[in-house]
Structure 1
Amino acid sequence: MENRITIITIREGIAENEAALLWEQLLKLINGFKRDIGEEPLTEEGQQRLRQAMKDGRITFFLALCGDHAVGMCSTAKCFSTFACTDTGVFEDFYMEPEFRRKGIAHMLAQAAQKWSRENSLASMTVTCAPCDEGMYQALGFELRLGTTFAHMG
């Protein structure tokens, strides 16, 4: 890889001067991800809710930076599991700008999220994906199959 990739963690307590630049880049990636899957960009209300969730420590983002440009992201959202009787994590928001795919950055992001999960005593980290993405997530360390996910949209 020509340029050095750095993985950073964005969570509560980030410095104000750094926060504005990182927030702008994070939004660009989130909206690129949403566009790629056929969804609308985040609304102002959605942005406010996301910022609050980050401030409350309910979601932590990991950004892959090439220089000072964010080229990929993922997140871990905390939730309490009655099965484990402690916090677990949900791996989400996994996206890489197309020109930065297949360069090992996905592994770097997944490893950063998995390390953060261990350091924050999360009992496990799960991911829900389409059947076509199962192999990718297994290669990233999500090896234990826990069944099928269903959702009810409220």
Structure 2
Amino acid sequence: MNYKIKKAGLEDLDELAELFDLYRVFYRQEPDVQKAKAFLKERLLNSESDVFLAMIGGKAVGFVQLYKLFHYTKLEKQWLLSDLFVHPDFRGKGLSVALIERCKHWCNETGACGLMLETGKTNEIGNTLYPRCGFVYDDLHNYYHWWK
């Protein structure tokens, strides 16, 4: 299968927003393409995230979104692999692995020490995929959140 991984820009916003909305629906959120588009546009305009697209025949079929963080013990930049999604029609073709590999190269390109991510305990696909891609499960930490 011929595919290309490219860094997303504002010119990709419409296709990216459609995929991002499907991703949100996967996580049991109400669909809202316009809100997804506004969210992504703000991230891209303010250089708050980096997004890579998996392209087949000029059409975006998957994406990964990274946010810059800093590691407190390594005292280096790291990337949060926040969002990873491949359209259901294109799953099982190695696109998720290709997107993750592009993220690893991005670490090298930007001088980051690595990637971190979190996924739901019920995300069977992700919980199988990430160890296959070299991620190590961290069972020493509890993750908490606070929402206002």
For this structure pair, what is the TM-score category when the shorter chain's length is used for normalisation?
A: 0.7 to 0.9
Q: 1:86 to 1:57 in 2, by over 3 A?
A: farther
1:149 is matched with 143
1:75 is matched with 65
RMSD: 2.1
Question: Matched residues in 2 for 1:129 and 1:85: separation?
Answer: 24
1:138 is matched with 131
Listed as ranges, the matches of 1:112-131 within 5 Å are 112-131=102-121
Question: Matched residues in 2 for 1:109 and 1:60: separation?
Answer: 12
Deviations along 1:41-65, whole A, 9 cap, x unmatched?
A: 4575664443232233221011000
Structure 1: give runs of 5+ residues left out of the alignment: none
Q: 1:100 to 1:45 in 2, by over 3 A?
A: closer
**Same amino acid, percent of matched pairs:** 20
Normalising by the residue count of structure 1, what TM-score does the alignment of the two structures yield? 0.81
Question: Matched residues in 2 for 1:29 and 1:43: separation?
Answer: 9
Structure 2: give runs of 5+ residues left out of the alignment: none
Do the aligned residues in 2 keep the contact of 1:62 with 1:74 (CA within 8 Å)? yes
Q: Which moved further from structure 2: 24-33 or 75-84? A: 75-84
Q: 1:95 to 1:49 in 2, by over 3 A?
A: closer
Q: 2:79 aligns with which of 59, 80, 89?
A: 89
Normalising by the residue count of structure 2, what TM-score does the alignment of the two structures yield? 0.84
Question: Matched residues in 1 for 2:133 and 2:32: separation?
Answer: 27
What number of residue pairs does the alignment pair up? 144
2:4 is matched with 6
Do the aligned residues in 2 keep the contact of 1:75 with 1:113 (CA within 8 Å)? no
SS at match of 2:55: strand
SS at match of 1:70: strand
- Using the TM superposition, give the Cα deviation of residue 75 of structure 1 relative to its aligned residue in structure 2, in angstroms: 1.2
Q: 1:57 to 1:141 in 2, by over 3 A?
A: farther
One-letter code aligned to 1:140: C
Higher-RCO chain (CA-CA 8 Å, sequence separation at least 6): 1
Q: 1:115 to 1:42 in 2, by over 3 A?
A: farther
Do the aligned residues in 2 keep the contact of 1:35 with 1:41 (CA within 8 Å)? yes
Q: 1:99 to 1:50 in 2, by over 3 A?
A: closer
SS at match of 2:93: coil
SS at match of 2:20: helix
Question: Matched residues in 1 for 2:71 and 2:62: separation?
Answer: 28
